[in-house]
Structure 1
Amino acid sequence: MQLSPSIFKAYDIRGIIDETLDPSIAKLIGQAFGSEMRELGETDIVIGRDGRLSGPSLIEALTEGLLSTGINVIDLGMVATPMVYFAANHTIHGKKPQSGIMITGSHNPPNYNGFKMVLGTSAIYGEQIQGLRKRIEAKQFATGQGTRTTFDIFPMYLAHIVGDVKLARPMKIVVDCGNGVGGAFAGQLFRALGCEVQELFCEVDGTFPNHHPDPAHLENLQDLIKNLQTTDNELGLAFDGDADRLGVVTKDGQVIFPDRQMMLFAKDVLSRHPGGQIIYDVKCTRNLATFVKQHGGEPLMWKTGHSLVKAKLKETGAPLAGEMSGHIFFKDRWFGFDDGLYTGARLLEILSKETDPNQTLNDLPNALCTPELQIACAEGEPFTILESIKAHAKFPTSEAINTIDGVRVEYADGFGLARPSNTTPVVVMRFEADNEAAITRIQEEFKLAVLAAKPDAKLPF
């Protein structure tokens, strides 16, 4: 298979099986990554895969590539993405591997797969990922002969969480893993914490026969909502395909989106880290910054993208970070990587102290907001559109304009956002306001700005 530059994304490598990704490409990625490790003086790596049907052949080929560069491979088998990150923070077989690769298509359709990568304790993104592509194209590979061992990381991971997280009382919960890899672990984890757990679609099946494993979309939470209406379960938790993101549904069927979850976590974390920085991405509600300040913290808005947020967390030493997509990063009591399963455990710890968890969640500040809206574009076009908007657009009723990631315009009564997606050729938009009239006014200002930059844009509002 010819190497397709399209698989090298902003935060990971991702392609379509037998179209842009196959074992031959996985082997080349192993050779390139192993060569990068050798240059850093790294010798050991942990690898794992999710439940996709293409996972076994890709992990074999990736291993072959890594071994050929002299890297020692510790194969964790089928695991959740956070377990690879966890393993890269621990001593295994007497070694402390600081690099890791997870083979996962995350929440993409079944015919996708890809690679999330940590090189020497840092998630790689952007130019580093393009560097792997260039290395493959130039065939600049180290040579050697590494060793391969296997390791079951789950008992260590489970013991660490159960040793850290303590529930004030047992809770009755329902968990929906959408047939993603989290299903192999979630039930056991939450039972070990003392919960009574009902499992929905926790059989790992890479065809995702019931619904898509992506809790960011409401249609994928309908089974949880129905279950909570008809049982005495108190709370619903949903996980994406590789279990690094969490969705939350209340007893009365309300979805608590991650920017509101962050309020609960920030309040808890700030009780131990007064004055601490709380990092959140540009898609989050403006209520989050207000809430963080009210609880003695320092809000810091940052770019969208789990690798970018992770890097900012590492740079600042903040105890907590999160983004609207559902990646939550605890440095307080944890390791600073995104982990949906651990985030679920921390949520239960907080809610188990409340007499009415449902009320606690619903009482979190809320706002009138749109879901994520998208404008389809040609490849590369979103970035030129946003440059034009930054240079020329006027937002007459605005109070402030933030250009850290696209354009986020703050108003007295809301905000509007337009940013180029780093993963697909779309402009992502989101709006929030105190009332419908304010949302309409803000959207009108953005409509003029977008149409001036792209007159043929088909606006989703």
Structure 2
Amino acid sequence: MNDDLIQSVPHEIFKAYDIRGIVDKTLTIAHVEKIGHAIGSEARTRQLTSIAVGRDGRLSGVSLSEALTKGILKSGINVVDVGMVATPMLYFAAHELCGYSGVMVTGSHNPPEYNGFKIVLGGETLAAETIQALRLRIENNDLKQGDGHYSRHDIKETYLKRIVDDVKLDRPMNIVVDCGNGVAGAFAPTLYRMLGCEVIELFCDVDGTFPNHHPDPSVPDNLRDVIHALATTDAEIGLAFDGDGDRLGIVTKAGNIIYPDRQLMLFAADVLSRNPGGQIIFDVKCTRNLAPWIKQHNGVPIMWKTGHSFIKAKLRETNALLAGEMSGHFFIKERWYGFDDGLYAGARLLELLSHAENIDAILHDLPDSINTPELQIKVEEGENHVLIAALQQNASFDDAQQIITIDGLRVEYEDGFGLARASNTTPVVVLRFEAENELALKRIQQDFRDNIQRIKPDMVLPF
């Protein structure tokens, strides 16, 4: 492969949490082979010997997986190909077969023309500098040579059995499962039937064109079919998954969405009932009701940066039992492995709800506040980080009780909070607001509006 190609692997596909691009444009077969060679070379530097490779249901998955595998093998690292699986199944295979090393070929919830890679080596999820280090390996041609061995392995039965052996429902449940034609559809209905559930399937046939709705349960519009199914059947609760099965969405019988920060309250109370004093990690976008809830249930709350790889790194550092993000990633270390697994999180949720006489009462009684969805300001590439840095240095919030800068700017007030942070995946500023009442919400938003417009007067704000 010539030097021009080595230099031409686009910088922009190397993201904060993963590698991701548009197939045949910023992510070509030749690029992917080089990326595989770099991953394998890094694995050899870390004295690893094998890497599990899996792919989701996207149309480009087979060809990209083959190119990635070819590159890894050229470095002298062995490849165990687990085929089409959900991302957590790849993590499970990596744990069981390859010294916790694996690469998932997935575009997650991105549009069909995208694809990419989530990478874990020796238990470390590559992110930020370690992702950029792969790019530098390619540019510097710092690539090891060898002849790795290729094999295939079907992980499905082992993975499903491991969950079924662990999770026990008190009674059979009737549930709706919406996979949005993502790869979770090949496994989720089987899993929940094995647990004793009656399953109403929505869009569980895997189709990389996503013909029905986008596989992203964090967007309320994508849950309309679940809400309708709950209203017109005997189902008790609805579960929805993203494109690669590592995120979970929940809808109640009454059609209410239980957002992930409130789902985390349920998981925290359950885990802490057996492990008092345990640490629970959550990201900066989560409700201010979460930390008091964790303390009330004899836990230690830890707020951290948004992003599955950052949360995993914090889990490794703290040995916390549980973590969760507003996006729907749940990382359960009690009885499980600590990687984000939407299918397992769904099973654990059903287990704890199966103990209850009235599911809706439990779900609706969780503390709640008035809040906005995730708001976004679209800006030029890199401008989001410049704006947040300026806010951190120059903003003035007179009524603030606490200003948290671990990831952007989260300002805590007596009656609510406001958040502005730079997305690590797209050129946007992410905003979120929560308050005890509408008046407080408007006041907090005005505080942020004044500070942002003081720095950038012409910025059009979505609130």
Q: Deviations over 1:313-338 (max 9, x none)?
A: 11001000001000000010000100
Could you say what secondary structure the match of 2:313 adopts?
Answer: helix
Q: CA deviation at 1:384?
A: 1.1
**Which residues in structure 2 correspond to 1:97-246 (within 5 Å)?**
97-246=99-248
CA distance in 2, matches of 1:350, 1:409: 34
TM-score by length of 1: 0.98
Which residue of structure 2 aligns with residue 426 of structure 1?
428
**Which residues in structure 2 correspond to 1:40-119 (within 5 Å)?**
40-90=46-96, 92=97, 96-119=98-121
State whether residues 10 and 129 of structure 1, in contact with CA within 8 Å, keep that contact through their aligned partners in structure 2: yes
Q: Which amino acid aligns with 1:367?
A: S
CA distance in 1, matches of 2:300, 2:260: 18
CA distance in 1, matches of 2:392, 2:309: 24
State whether residues 376 and 458 of structure 1, in contact with CA within 8 Å, keep that contact through their aligned partners in structure 2: no
CA distance in 2, matches of 1:356, 1:405: 38
CA distance in 2, matches of 1:19, 1:327: 29
Which residue of structure 1 aligns with residue 30 of structure 2?
24
CA distance in 1, matches of 2:66, 2:134: 19
Query: 1:391 pairs with 390, 393, 404, which one?
Result: 393
Q: CA deviation at 1:458?
A: 1.0
CA distance in 2, matches of 1:250, 1:10: 34
Q: CA deviation at 1:383?
A: 1.0
Could you say what secondary structure the match of 1:74 adopts?
Answer: strand
Q: CA deviation at 1:98?
A: 2.3
Could you say what secondary structure the match of 1:110 adopts?
Answer: coil
Q: Deviations over 1:348-369 (max 9, x none)?
A: 0000010111111111111100
Which residue of structure 2 aligns with residue 324 of structure 1?
326
Query: Structure 2 stretches of 5 or more lacking a match?
Result: none
Query: Structure 1 stretches of 5 or more lacking a match?
Result: none
Could you say what secondary structure the match of 2:289 adopts?
Answer: helix
**Which residues in structure 2 correspond to 1:304-315 (within 5 Å)?**
304-315=306-317
State whether residues 44 and 98 of structure 1, in contact with CA within 8 Å, keep that contact through their aligned partners in structure 2: no
Which residue of structure 2 aligns with residue 458 of structure 1?
460
Q: CA deviation at 1:97?
A: 3.2
Q: Which amino acid aligns with 2:24?
A: D
Could you say what secondary structure the match of 1:35 adopts?
Answer: helix
CA RMSD of aligned residues (A): 0.7
Could you say what secondary structure the match of 1:175 adopts?
Answer: strand
Could you say what secondary structure the match of 1:286 adopts?
Answer: coil
TM-score by length of 2: 0.98
Q: Deviations over 1:198-257 (max 9, x none)?
A: 100000000000000000000000000000000000000000000000000000000000
CA distance in 1, matches of 2:451, 2:422: 14
Q: CA deviation at 1:294?
A: 0.5
Query: 1:333 pairs with 310, 314, 335, which one?
Result: 335
CA distance in 2, matches of 1:52, 1:400: 44
State whether residues 46 and 97 of structure 1, in contact with CA within 8 Å, keep that contact through their aligned partners in structure 2: no
Q: Which runs of 4+ in 1 moved over 2 A?
A: none
Q: Deviations over 1:254-290 (max 9, x none)?
A: 0000000000000000011101111000000000101
What number of residue pairs does the alignment pair up? 457
CA distance in 2, matches of 1:75, 1:278: 34
Q: Which amino acid aligns with 1:100?
A: G
